[in-house]
Structure 1
Amino acid sequence: MRAFSAIAGSALFFVAAPGVVAGLLPWLLTDRYRVPQSSVPGFAPVGWILVVGATAVLLHSFARFALEGLGTPAPVAPTEKLVVGGVYRHVRNPMYVAVLLIILGQALIFSSCAVFVYGLIAAAAMILFVKFYEEPTLARRYGAEYEDYRRAVPGWLPRLTPWRG
């Protein structure tokens, strides 16, 4: 039953958080009534690659939280276990990285400076949230296990080889 609750909670949070931050808000910043098309040749295909690839990483990350951690990414329903498998072996914050890449991809698809600036603001907010809330909370909750993981796995730029801690 715990796994079902974790999956349902993660699905709800997926719509509420990245769905709004990486989907609805960038869409509202664009001329959304025209077919998305970059005015710079080559930007739109790169943007679509970023959006599709980052969405796959985001879905994988959410699944890890529900199935490995038996919880959700939402602070109100945290995981029972520290999630360190899958893409988390390469980077500590794959959800934030994926959301930012989705926003960047949309900026490229729509040739939108507004979406790009929004992405910079979102990045700053995420970095501050991680530094001042998430990392201290995880350190208190998981102690030495999190500290070992934090020392071995970078927060924002993925390591090429997976951590085997």
Structure 2
Amino acid sequence: MTASLLGTYVWAIGLIAWFIIRYPYARKARRTATLRAVGWSRERILLAIATVGLFVVPLIWLVTGWPAALNYQLNYAAVVIGAALYVLSLWLFRRSHKDLGRQWSASLEIREAHQIVRAGVYRSIRHPMYASFWLWALAQAFLLPNAMAALGGLVAIAILFFTRIDYEERMLIEAFGDDYRAYMRETKRIIPGIY
């Protein structure tokens, strides 16, 4: 098996794992009342952009081979790095869902009985789910042997993250005030001790 084919298989298996991890939390979240949501239209657009970069573009390439002019050969070292990043991404993705519990939401919402979560991965970073998406996009860049499919995730996550993060933190400051400001001083956004 070539490294390029192996990388594609690893990416596809990770994608399936992502859906398996998210499904039960999405079901539970539907049963928890939303007290406040921010920018519903903007949220849908940003989530659509992320979906295009992480799912749609790679799937189009996988199914059709388009754009073949941007294909290249991977080496096994890239696949190993990509697989390791993907495993870390999926672990962090699962932990962030588990630590949030019923407070998790795909869009910017304050849930019923919402609290600041400071346990688990939230002890050192405020936004581990974004960190997991950045890791996923990096893994995709190492695993897919097509420049558009490989880099689409990074572009999409950059748009989602840098457009959304300030809104999200303002919403949390409005909801929790000085308690959230103190949490912001104690933690970094997505990289422990750095950013």
TM-score normalised according to structure 2 size:
0.62
- Aligned position for 2:28: 8
Alignment pair present for 1:72 and 2:109: no
- Aligned position for 1:27: 58
CA contact (8 A) 2:130 2:161 kept: yes
Q: Which has the higher helix share?
A: 2
**Distance (whole Å) between structure 2 residues aligned to residue 145 and residue 110 of structure 1:** 42
What is the percent sequence identity of the aligned residues? 21
Unaligned stretches of 5+ in structure 2? 1-23, 31-46, 66-71
Cα root mean square deviation, aligned: 3.2
- C-alpha displacement of 1:21: 6.4
1:83-122 equivalences in 2 (<5 Å)? 83-114=117-148, 115-122=150-157
Closer, same or farther in 2 for the Cα pair 1:45/1:141, shift >3 Å? same
Larger C-alpha radius of gyration, 1 or 2?
2
Q: Between the two structures, name the one with larger relative contact order (CA 8 Å, sep ≥ 6).
A: 2
- C-alpha displacement of 1:95: 0.3
Unaligned stretches of 5+ in structure 1? 11-16, 161-165
Instruction: Tell me how many residue pairs correspond in the alignment.
Output: 146
Runs of 4+, deviation exceeding 2 Å:
4-7, 19-34, 73-79
CA contact (8 A) 1:43 1:108 kept: yes
